[in-house]
Structure 1
Amino acid sequence: MEDLKKKVAARGYVKGTMTRLFNFVNIANLDDISINDLCTKRDRLNVAFKEYEALCKDILGLDSADEEDVESVEDNYFKTLSAFDKRIKPLDSNPSGSSTYEKTHKTKLPPISIKPFEGTYTEYVPFINLFNSLIHNDKSLDNIQKFYYLRTLLKGEPFDLVKNLPVEALSYDAALNLLKNRYENKYRIISEHICKLLDLKQIVKSTAVSLREFISTVRQQIAAIKYQEPNVIYWDAILLCILSRKLDSYTAKAYQLDQDMNAKPQLEDFLNYIENRANALENVEQGHQPHPGNSSSKVAAVATTGATCTYCKSYEHKLFNCKKFQLLPANDRYTFAKEKKVCMICLGQHGGKCRFHFRCSECKKPHNTLLHCNLSETPPAVTLSSNVDNNVLLPTAKIKVVARDGTQYIIKALLDSGSQVSFITTKVVQLLGLTPLQSDTCIIGITNEKSNIKYCIPIEIHSLNSPFKTTVTCHVLKDVTCKLPQNKFDVSRVIIPPNIILADDQFNVPSEINMLLGADVFFQTLLPNEQRMTISLPSHSNQSSAVPRSAAHPPQQPSSTQLHVFNTYFGHIVGGNLPPKCFRRRLGRFNRLC
């Protein structure tokens, strides 16, 4: 009711404005009024009538029994407008009397466009401020028109927030509130601006262009952070420590030599120093431009602009920063460095002794870490086995992994105590949206066969039956193994004790194996059994039972067809020999793929 009273009062005020203009054209002598005044009053009349219509619509939405005489107000509006036009048109056609009007109302300006908002937190404040200035504060537009403009300027997730709102006046304020609640997140906005400062690329060589780009980026982010009004009492010292590390060594050293070490650090002093240095470099570079007719200058220019990266011929970085070179296997990097005769320490090309004293972080020898090879080291071994005569059930467990966007997936893993390393399939890595790391690892299998694995990735795995979680470095393969078990077998006659929680409740159903957990994970997940559990599966009878064994009753000679149950953080895993009669069809030979 309070909102209705306000809108009725606002309509009365607008209606009074229109009445005064109506009385003005009926009483005043319009011939004595300048064309500028007439045009201003006519424009005010149009704006007032649009406001009147909008208020009438809003009031009808709140009170359907509203008795406003809209027809009489509309008649007075058209009469007043006609009187203004009748006086303005003759003056408009008179060149001597219309110069000011034409200059004011006929000049066409380029249209103002607003960049659509796509959901980036740091872009919300500039977008909404510009939208408010150009559209929200425009009194000539009603709320339906403003809502239409707002919808056209939203893309992606922001548009999804408002697309289901009905196209009516009340939806405009609702849409603004939805956007404000979703994207006016001061903590997130400040964090993203700080991250942009932290992620600034280090200046390799100080030039006027690189320094000005550095200053521009810093000032933009600082201004955006200040707009959010955070507590910035002590931030100068912190930012100076971060930003000074982004400078090249020569500029950073010059800045430190120029500062008073006893003075309080000021961010603005730092930026002013960099800006003055950029001005100096710009003036020097302009004064040393090569003369068009000087051949020696041309040679110097070619030498200066030559490619600095020996591998990809890029002008933007050196060999040790080349991403393509870093992705090469270690052996290929070493071979390339030998062929191109680059320095084994700094990866540059120079004569004489290298002025750097780097040591490899892997072996501590005097060479660059990128050139370290594992050829002399013994690679990890993967013990693989298969029994042709027996049908062996390998232990499996269902585990939870979390994608980059927070989505949770349940995959089946094989627990292999005979493997020194763990594996994961390319399919799961792509599903999780993760980026593998470069790895040059040699894997030894049965018959001493070697396989090179180029990628690995750390994966956090979670148990479905306990709070247990751990991070495993998995080597990435297209396939880990075939489906396990290879054939479905009947467990309807197997009695599982009620206190057992299976790590894989479908251990008898052939399933895709997307991860292999090696001995490093297998043994850290084992838990002590209160009593030894076995599931006997006689080969020549239809009887089967789960037999707990305690210390008081030591186990008898184990049967050749017996499943063993082990307790782990993932739950109880099952493995061992199976009789052929358990299968719906005979098992084929087990082939393990790596």
Structure 2
Amino acid sequence: MVDQQNMPKCQKMWYLKTNVNGEAEKLIRHLPLTEDSYDSAWKMLQDRYNNKRMLTTALLNRLLQQTIISIESASSIKALHDVTKECLQGLTNLGLEICSWDPLIVHLLIRKLDRTTHSLYEQSMKHPKSLPSLDEFMSFLETRFHSLETLGNKGRYSDDQRKPAARSFTSVEANKSSKTNCPLCNGSEHKLYSCIKFLRLSLENRLATVKKFRLCTNCLNPGHLATRCIARNCTRCAGKHNTLLHMGNPSIRPSEKGNDQPIRHFPQKTEIELPSTSSKAVNPAHTSASAVAPKQKSYVFLSTVVVDIKSSEGTYISARALLDSGSQLNFITENLSKRLNILEFAETMRILGIGEGSKRSDKRVNITLKSKTTYFAVNFEAFVLRQITPSQPSRMINIESWNIPKDIKLQINISMSLAKSIYY
């Protein structure tokens, strides 16, 4: 540092003023380039920024809030290794004794690993019954990302395999530049599962078509087997095959008008027939849902749950979450994210299937959630949206005859949306 160099104070002052910027530069901007000014400038900067508690908190937050690795890749493992090393070195420079932190740090970092990398680490341990060594863990991470870089493996799955099938209720538009042509229509730019010719076929002919073109029987895309497919399974039996290939699934025919527009497939929804309301005044307690069929009295009821979300201060805030069994991602509203005051990461994601059309998220957060009634707790990533669903209920329904406890509130605001992998 300039303060520790053997040079005239006037020269130190010149180096100081030419190498600081932002708020620090404004703080000493008014001081002239003289020897007497240097001591004053250095003291002002020390008083403002030499805050050991604040620096320690910032380093610990960066260490603990690292992104959870969902798919193994050289870049994600290298980032985990480098950020951890940088934070621990910073804590050491601040005078903290971290020699006895090894078991705690290794435990926290293991929870950031994907399943494959975690399994490889467990296999690499020479003494699995002994307390883990941080040096050995960091050496394993370094060896692992070097191996992936050497093999040219930037991730476990290719971009085509990462694309969720269009059948799911919530899907992500992952690689817009690459277009998959339909093998049955000789080059038409649409997926096989939305091909009219394919939908006209019987179940036996669909299976024969998939086998002929060597497609994955789960997502109907080429390049991998169903056993390695990460797309959603059959929505009728949860088997490792596409819903269009489900045994006993009737042929899907186009409309009588011959509309050849692509068809989207969504998970099955539970329909409930409701009694007609009389002309008398309706009780203030009502519920609502979205209609999914042309029947005027048929509605879908949304499953929700009240959970506790951890804020940046360590306290918990109650919020209502939508249990979306058709979603592949988790979402949180901007309002709840601001209330939690948690760190937001810049990441752009375009989401299809939420509301009417598509939405775009530019921020991602790490969430710590726990149950209000059990010991269940989980950490996960969520994308930030301005709104997940409109305020509920969207339609007033007479529920006077329903046996609902008095302490249950049916008029709710959805602040989160949880994917099936979180709660099932």
TM-score by length of 2: 0.41
Larger of the two Rg values belongs to structure: 1
More helix by share: 1
TM-score by length of 1: 0.31
